[in-house]
Structure 1
Amino acid sequence: MADISDDDLLAELGAAPEAKKQSTRTPREERIIAGFEDILRFREEHGRVPQHGEERDIFERLYAMRLDRLRAQEDCRTLLREFDRYGLLPTPPAAGNDEEMDDDALLAELGVEPIGDVDLTELTHVKPRTEVRAAEEVADRTPCVDFETFKPLFARVRDDLDKATRETRRFGEDADVKQGEFFILGGQMALVAALGDEFKTDYGRPDRRLRVVFDNGTESDLLLRSFQRALYKDDAGRRITDPNAGPLFGGAADDEDLASGTIYVLRSKSDHPDVAAHRDLIHKVGVTGGTVEARIAQAALDSTYLLADVEVVATYKLFNINRTRLENVLHRVLSPARLDLTIQDRFGNPVKPKEWYLVPLHVIDEVVAKVKDGTIRSYEYDPSAAMLRRFS
């Protein structure tokens, strides 16, 4: 049987072969259609037309500008009418130059410098939006007109750092940001000078505008979340600790210091066998806003004091400090050495007194010194070695 060609088979079936349709569109028209199809795909994926704005993705901004140009040119609207299934083009032409702009020109309009012959879908010459935004958050600063007001504050903080009454900590251990706090961002010291009113973002999250003053004489009105994000992403971002504004301990205070109370260290005169055997090591550590004498006046009748008289072995005067928070810190540091002792109160009920510790007096002195230099939160007492140890 003789071979039959495809054309002969089609003729036998009564079907004439169609001549291949030749494209009559110019390369420019093909490029315009391809660009419009990108816009249509964006409309399908996001349910809206691409929009302008610095907060938008680079491609969305590119598509928005391209759509403006297509709407402004009558020949483009005519060419694309059969593809415009969402009715994007009937919008009145935007004012401006009707001259066609290629992708490089569009990128230039967006402030992006094209490099060589690169596919627009490959962001080889465009920084990720998160990186661009982070840079904008840090770099968008203006001169601080009243910097002379803040200059002495920065000088004082530097002096505190030199004297080790302040320290820097990696941001993230505590991500909270309050007015009056100092940070290090981008290698510069930053002061949160003011907090604006809180508002809700589009995602329902609380945020607020900050006034952040930098030690180089500039300032920025960053959003709180932007400031936190910039600190967290900066490998050198640091929080500068607060030394509690004034001398913590000492016999004399400055005129402007407010007395807050006293740390007291007591030794019990109880004849309980366990207490008597370790009397020189067992100490009660507390904080009071009044006099120590008034605090211990009824010690022999109070199970808190082991139902016995006590002697005061050390006191440390406090200035400008939160007594409750300090007492909590002291008890946390000494908790591994807390005395495990049960006694009976005046009514015969079992009681486990707190705030008594098996710890030498010289260690308590060291604890107070760590409170004074602001490093106490990094330490804990090690009973096996009878010394303070820094957290790893």
Structure 2
Amino acid sequence: MSDLDLDELRSELDDFAQPERKGGRSPREERIIAGFEEIQRFVEKSGHAPRHGEGGDIFERLYAVRLDRLRELEECRSLLTPFDHQGLLTGAPVASSAPVDTLDDDELLAELEGAAGSSDITKLRHVRTSAEKREAEEIASREKCLDFETFKPLFEEVQSDLDAGRRTTRRFVKDAGFLKADIHAGQFFIIGGQTAYVAQVGEPIKAPNGETDARLRVIYSNGTESDLLLRSLQRALYKDEAGRRITEPTAGPLFEEQTSDNDEASGTVYVLRSKSEHPLVTANRDILHKIGVTGGNVERRIANARLDPTFLMAEVEVVATYELYNINRAKLESVIHKIFGGARMDIEIKDRFGQPVVPKEWFLAPLFVIDEAVRRIKDGTITGYIYDRKTAQLILASAKDR
């Protein structure tokens, strides 16, 4: 690519150009002048000669490449000198951090189109900035998920929920309130034609623009996974016209999303993940969840989590909530804790006064199993089921005894 002589290429293009006008300039000369005038208009607007470098606009970089070539070719200098009222042809070439031979195919072809007489270089709408290219590469960069069998039941269950109408899909749009803060572990999306599951959300990091970001582990229904930034997934979902957020299972008779005037609000089942640095917590963070029921606001309930041994004396993250109507909260909480009793986390925490406390609502169970348990409670099929830690699934208690 670097050995390509633009002058020779122009000569080849001349075979397809209009015949030279008598007594006037050739079509090739007209194109050279037109290209130089574009550079002059850029200088008038920006106040400086076009410069190389990835930090600049792609069109400025292309103008810089073109100006370097015009300065190198004696024929072009002779033709353009009468028009060079800005002294561009006599200026020293700008030190380039992206020389012609390192431009990618899109950029070089764009420059060749300009040299061949494109009437308006700003029509090159397909040329992407470096930042856009890096973002696209991150989204597209996937590798085989070696432990996909662990996640496969989740995708099968989600598809079953969609087929049965227990879940729906919605556009991921800003005006609906679905911002990056709403992307958390356990959520499902549709992007690029694949169902995507957010398996892990890393520690918060500061993005260059000052916003908070995080590294995600995203598993796809085709058996691949990617390690990408939360903000990249957010932008990709905004841009993908077919991108969707998959909702949580819709409410059944016990958990109605839309209530009637006669319904009595009873509270919320909440599922939390701890941010504690306790060794037992860090070793099991992805599957350790607190399952509780409250009659008040969940955010207020967890506001002082770091001071409460019930919450392991640490901040917590809300990973799922389910609204309750016309139900006895205490009995429901008892049912849930009975189902997951065999997976209760055995951990002792000291409270603010140094007294030992053993929390009772933390269980070693993945979120998709908790979702299944709630769904079975909704449709009345939970009777006789318990959680089996060995298989990480709900089974009939009678089957466990065999």
Relative to its length, the structure with more helix (as a share) is: 2
Q: Which entry has the higher C-alpha Rg, 1 or 2?
A: 1
Could you tell me the TM-score, scaled by structure 2's length? Answer: 0.43
Could you tell me the TM-score, scaled by structure 1's length? Answer: 0.44
